[in-house]
Chains A and B, each alone.
Chain A
């Protein structure tokens, strides 16, 4: 029979071509900057990362995870068996049966892929991706029939040359998509690039339930700062872009996309692919950047990205909320890429849009974004009688005040938190005028030089004093202190303190019985997860527990927890202020309204500012610290009776000590 000699030839040719394509692709990645990865342990860990970590993300969509398990599992299994049965000609009936079952599995999976593609949601890319289910079916069916004789179910030479020709055609199609296409940039590229991306991921800490969200520091002595051309990315970032399956989950979660700002994370990653391979975006078959036509962008590995490939406005639309990263089943790092490109625009081109330049100048000259006199940082606390580290040198808790000190609305949050701290007799102190902006905004705006300068001076200030924990009401400062400062400690030193968000800390106090709270007597309450607390630091529970302690039953929004939608205030977005069709904060408030909540509890002064900026009528916005402070039963704190009002907060700190 013809197939007896034709099949091995076809398979060999397809494999050879696939390998050639893969080598070509690898050379494209290698044009990126060097980055150390643990090569072998990465490869060894890859199956686990794929089967466990990645599966956990895909599992959020049960339909798709089952479909993918069947299709991909069936394909990998059948490919191995095809090599045995049809290439090496192993004549074993059971092996053939196994191949048949694997192909059936793949066929069933492919049917579901097909079904989903009948009426695909807008987030899915069309184009070649619409062909994929048919190719999968063709591969499974052709090989199934071609394997029947080997299994002894059909006689040899069944169907004669006509069937052989049809099968050969089907097999060429199937293998063309699944093997050749894998190496040469077809939809199946995701399997090849994706598995290597998992092996050489730039943030291996993310696997095995870990978390890695801090941005990587820039080497300020480098000849070029930030990413100008695709080849300025690290090689494994380029590899990561190639792993994209264009499922559009990022697009569906992106607040900037929803607001009609010119950003679509999926398109951005695809544009990076265009950049690394060279060409134009004409073949992109998904949603465009809102307001920007597809087909006009052109790029190449050594062409400046922001000149022709991606508009700077696209990069500045991002709120760095990490919703895309959280959602990406391929664990691609969109935010890293965006900030890398912003770094070039800010540090090399001096092109931070709108108020960006002014804010950065202020941060450089006054250590706060609004240019206030740095000596007035403690003015908000003139009546608070706070202990300053310079005087006391030592405290259990360092209260990181953050730039909320300069903002009258945020000061209400700070006062509330101080009231709570005093009621619980916590031994705390502040840095006072020695504190500086955490550097969050500077870093997200791409100015890593200013971030590093602020961070180093903050570290120097903190290093003079002894404390066990830092507590802050600002999730952005929280994130910087907890996840980003460690990189900037002087050689041989590392932070020896724990960093907590105030909701975590108050929750501990309540659990330890250091606070007595009365029942909340308001209407319906919902909770808005700040991105930098939730997705960046995984703190979803403490705020909710705390609200429950107040007797509040949270009316959850549809987008909550790890799927919470950004308020629009992160990543310097209110400063760069890229126009869209809607405001992100308005969309979030509409979601709050859907729950029927009269009050939205937040844990971030930035979120407070953004949500309170929505025109009334709208839900009232309160920080959890304010809710707790309002609910405090004063003078009746479990241990402080004999002290009366807490004039000396550390006079009796038994309870505080118990939990510290």
Chain B
């Protein structure tokens, strides 16, 4: 079986591979969002499992525990837990990434507690002691994990897991680089599936698969020059490829993204500092999620450049002709960020479609109509 086929299988059958690992005696640590360092979990021999929802499975049990005006992605994740689909978890670590995840963590701890339950506080600010505070929070997480596992953290092992996770990031960036080609050798939907496949298996296993996969992608024959518009996708948790497929089936390529399941989760390496916790704190605190604050640096144009300059670099380097901002309803921080990012991209001449959705597949028909209209509109300008 090729790495391409293996990754496709892991994605399609997820979390089967994680269950197998559990049966093999591995301990599984579930976590939300991009703020829990997988390196720390790996250093304790835990399998990091990024919690996912299931937009194909309606939320039918969570209503008895959590309000419908909470993030539908978070509700879907908890619904999966209530159904026993996360019964393989040994540890559950929730970062205080936003109001909903914070509130949900308490609901989860009470109603589906696992052996180790922990809330990691993550500062919203990035200055005036924020990095030091986050480092202390990470040290406290380590202390709690040491008590739970009965094992002391070995710093050299942590350095090793950092190097390995950085290698994973380099491989993923390499894949994203290949998508600069036109047409790209990897579709946006396939890329997302490859990323999600790696969210529930040990990092060494994923690195091996990715190493092979990159070679397979490089050897793919890229056919004639594409005339399809190249799109950039922005948002938070898209962990199912259906929406990206819809966008690409509308006659586009999704070539770049800023999603918390996409580039946001791996773009920056962890610096190899003498105290590894320092590098981890710096890197994870600076994940560019809308839940974090960028201090205002000047008038509006300067401020927007400071906040979205990296997006500007993405769209220019990947020769993007249009952007879709996919907002999951009830995400206040994304809903406040979206209009600013739209302004920023519009000023760069990038047409933007801002969608608000409820993390289910019931709205696909409406989404398709809007995406198709957008594609028709930009086809005339790209």
A joins B in a complex = no
Residues of B within 8 A of A (CB): none
